[in-house]
Amino acid sequence: MLTSSPAQSHSRLIHRVAVGCFYFLQGLSFASWGSRIPTIQQQMGLSEAELGGVLLALPVGLLLSLPVAGWVIAKTGSRSVVIFSGLLYTTTLVAIGYSQDPLQLIVALFVFGFAGNLMNISINTQGVGVEALYQKSIMASFHGLWSLAGFTGAAIGTLMIGEGVAPFEHFLLIMFLSLLVIVIASRFVLREDVNTDTDKPIFVMPDKSLIDLGIICFFAMICEGAMFDWSGVYFKKVLLVEKAWIGAGYTAFMCTMAATRFVADWFTSRFGLKRILQLSGTLTAAGLLISVVFPYLYTAMLGFALVGAGVSSVVPLVYGAAGRSKVMSPGVALAAVSTIGFFGFLLGPPLIGFIAGATSLRVSFTIIAVMGLSVALVATNSRSIG
């Protein structure tokens, strides 16, 4: 059992709060942007197809930052990167709100995606370091703060829309709040990353354990991406619910996803990573299958809630395990696993669309359920996951 002096406990708590602030700020900025997409589309007079093309800039920026993030963190440390990327992320949010035409918006979104992934890898590297101080799993709770920030950002966005506040002014407010928190919190984040070794190569093929973690992340993010993009469509076109209930499945998914992240660490410490990943994959598959077999409002809401609980802790727990890699520094290992998982996030939504076009949405969701079950199967068969 971990024992420590009051001073050590206080120091750990300060680091945890400071790093948690950066998780919250990233979630708040991302949700603030997401809440104003319809407003920006209307202001620029973009069609759905034109908006889709503009939105591609964000994942392109994210994708191009993947090989850079691990390298720069290994060279300079995560502290400098998390501060720089946090400042860039929140100021780029204002640039998005200031954009006057689609070209400016594309450039701003590209930088937003690039900065967002730099921040993602660096704060998770910090999270790995704080987790090492506690000597137990706490990574899921950090991601819970990100989810909580998502609700907060969406609520603020709804208020701003109701009051007729322009996106630029809305984003300025978020930037000023973020800058204040960054100035304070940056003093207390970890100055040195754990598990760093100058002899560890920066460019090296991931070992079997990291590949297994990446595959698990890949399958989980296919399911997560499907929920983000297709839950409302499923409720509208398969369940045929009234307009007011179209978002019910997504809300159920997000609520259980956020709530479960705050208890997942305790269960992981109690039962071990392998069992939690097995349970997560099983819950994801079960929730999707319930929604397919019983395509009614309340059963589908129950199913989507189970999916939220299932996918909630997979990515943070996988990130935590990757950060403890013995062959790579934490930043590089996280970037490697994140790269594999990111392709799952991109693949999931179009995969559903292609399969639904050839068959039906219910068939698509059945196949995604298999992807969820694959999380449990890979975790079961991986000898490197304890």
The CATH number that applies at residue 89 is 1.20.1250.20
Q: Does residue 282 sit within a domain? A: yes
Predicted confidence at residue 1, as pLDDT, reads 45
Q: Does residue 54 sit within a domain? A: yes
Predicted confidence at residue 75, as pLDDT, reads 86
What is the domain extent for residue 279? 208-381
Indicate the residue type of 365: F
Q: Does residue 197 sit within a domain? A: no
Q: Are residues 10 and 70 in the same domain?
A: yes
Q: Are residues 122 and 269 in the same domain?
A: no
Q: Does residue 181 sit within a domain? A: yes
Q: How far apart are CA 376 and CA 379, in angstroms?
A: 5
Q: Are residues 234 and 375 in the same domain?
A: yes
Q: Does residue 177 sit within a domain? A: yes
Predicted confidence at residue 47, as pLDDT, reads 84
3-class secondary-structure state, position 127: helix
Q: Does residue 200 sit within a domain? A: no
The count of structural domains within the chain is 2
Going by C-alpha positions, the residue among 36, 316, 272 that lies closest to residue 165 is 36
Q: Are residues 52 and 129 in the same domain?
A: yes
Q: Are residues 52 and 16 in the same domain?
A: yes
Q: Does residue 283 sit within a domain? A: yes
Q: What angle do CA 31, 241, 219 make, to 5 degrees?
A: 50
Q: Are residues 267 and 354 in the same domain?
A: yes
Chunked into runs of 10 residues, the chain (386 residues) has average pLDDT values of: 70 94 95 88 84 85 87 90 96 96 95 94 93 90 92 89 93 96 95 69 67 93 84 87 85 91 93 95 97 95 96 92 81 86 81 84 93 95 79
What is the pTM (predicted TM-score) of this model? 0.86
Q: CB burial class (10 A; 0-12, 13-18, 19+) of residue 12?
A: middle
Q: What are phi and psi of 36, to 5 degrees?
A: -110, 10
CB-CB contact of 375 with 274 (8 Å):
no
